[in-house]
Amino acid sequence: MPIEKIKIPIVPEIMRIDTRTQAIDMQQIDNRRFMYNPDTGLLVLGRQYAVTSLMDSSHAGELAAAGITKDYDAFVRGWVGAGGDYPVGVVHFAPSVDARNIELFDRAFDTLKMFADNGIMYGTVIRGFGKEWEQPVSAILTDMWQPAAKPSVRKQLKKQPAAKAVRQKTNHQQER
């Protein structure tokens, strides 16, 4: 029986989240660092930064501020957020994940699966993962659902069979 996860709200301060028992909505994140340990399920979200703010910390600094001072390299790191040029979000791995580094690649893939359980959507952009600099999450997680598009009235009208006009055949020529 799957464990019912507790949905927690996104707050501007550093967040320490146990993804095995807690859930978030990634779409509520504007722009912040993430650090995720796939072995423990611990997700640390750095402070929420405004687009114009000057960043005064680092991944390591925010991880330490969350109370984690060991095993820095066990965490997959990057940036996450939604809005602006990325209306359904972006997950940016920093440093980039090279497909030739199998261990890091597997850990980053687990990170994407965790985000899939926490609000990334079909059109979310993934940066710095594998051989492509930027790609949609659906190119990596092929089971991502595509949102149902409501067809426009114009498309619905085009699909309706056109009624055939029946013309009476008349002979308008005079007989000779």
Tell me: the pLDDT tens digits for 18-66?
Answer: 999 999 999 999 999 999 999 999 999 999 876 555 566 789 999 999 9
Assigned domain for 12 exists? yes
157 is a domain residue: no
Exposure of 140 by Cβ count < 10 A (0-12 exposed, 13-18 middle, 19+ buried)? middle
Given this model, what pLDDT does residue 10 score? 95
Q: What are phi and psi of 168, to 5 degrees?
A: -75, 130
Number of domains in the chain: 1
Task: Identify whether the C-beta of residue 37 lies closer than 8 Å to the C-beta of residue 74.
Answer: yes
Q: Record the pTM.
A: 0.78
Range of the domain at 58: 6-148
Q: Does residue 163 lie in a domain region? A: no
pLDDT at 48: 86
Query: Is 176 inside a domain boundary?
Result: no
- Residue ranges in the chain modelled with pLDDT below 50: 150
CA–CA distances in Å: residue 147 to residues 117, 121, 139, 142: 16, 8, 15, 14
Instruction: Give the pLDDT of residue 154.
Output: 58
Residue 73 lies in a domain: yes
Per-residue pLDDT, 38: 98
Residue 129 within a domain: yes
Asked if the structure places residue 166 within a domain, the reply is no
Asked if residue 155 belongs to a domain, the reply is no
Distance set, CA 123 to CA 25, 48, 53, 144 (Å): 15, 22, 27, 9
